[in-house]
Structure formats: C-alpha cells, structure tokens
Amino acid sequence: MISTGLARRLREAGLAWKPHSGDRFHIDRSELDSDVFTVSELTIEAHEYPTGTVLGFNGTTEWALDSIDLGDTLWLPHEDQLRDLLRTAFRSLETVGDAYRVTIELDGSPHSFDSVSAPEAYGLALLAVLEGLSV
C-alpha cells in the first residue's frame, strides 16, 4: 500500500478517484488517519448524485457515520491500479537490493523511481507523470 503522504501528493497533482469495489481509502481527518476502509457493496458503497459522489456506510452500527463526501477521503490505489494509470509510459519493475525500481519512458527518455515497496515506486513514477517530471 502507498503511504498517506504519497496518496495526498497524487491527489494534489490531479489524480481523480472514481470509487470501485475493492478500493482502499482513508477518511481525511487526523483522528481517523490510521484507519483504512475498503469500498464494498456490502459495507461501503459509492453513490452518485448530481452534486458529487458520496460513500455510504451500510449497516455500520458502531459508527455515527452514514456517509461521507468523496472530497473528505484519500484514495490509496493498489499496485495494479498505479501500473494501469502509468499506461504506455510503464517499462519495468525490478528489485534493486532491498528496494524496488519502476522505470517509465516519457518523450523517449527513461526515468527510474526507487522505493522500499513496489506500490510506492509506482506511485512516485505516477506523481512524476502527473507533475510533468518536475519531481
């Protein structure tokens, strides 16, 4: 899983989220920062309204929370989602010692991003794409 910090940077760089079953997220409040939720038709379901998307908490009696606006959440994309978002820029994932390296190609030039986890390396590469390689 990517870090909350990287997820926040991806959102600030313009990464949009359309919730699907299996997606993980935080409620973007400091008191809930350590809690990770998963979208599921049984417990947390995305509801589309003309005013925006709301995540509904179904049958959560221990919570005083029925729903939350998508803007109050922080998406934690899975490794495969990050790889898919890189699209044709993605070239490779490899291990380098105890780290992972993701290599992408933009404008004919390779760019590599290393991290302690594969999802984090994918996230760093995606951030670079979203920011036009200014990272």
pLDDT digits (tens, 9 = 90+) for 88-103: 999 999 999 999 999 9
What pLDDT, on the 0 to 100 scale, is given for residue 135? 42
This prediction has a pTM of 0.81
Higher per-residue pLDDT: 6 or 32: 6
How far is residue 55's CA from residue 124's CA, in Å, rounded to a whole number? 27
Report the C-alpha gap between 67 and 18 in whole angstroms. Answer: 16
Residue 85: the pLDDT is: 96
Question: Could you tell me the residue ranges of all domains in the chain?
Answer: 18-76, 79-130
CA–CA gap between residue 91 and residue 94 (Å, rounded) = 10
Model pLDDT for residues 42-90, shown as the tens digit of each residue:
667 787 888 888 877 766 544 555 667 888 899 999 999 999 999 999 9
* Pair of tokens at residue 18: 């359309």
What average pLDDT does the chain have?
87
2 φ/ψ angles, rounded to the nearest 5 degrees: -75, 160
User: Given the DSSP bridges, would you call strands 44-49 and 52-57 parallel, antiparallel or unpaired?
Assistant: antiparallel
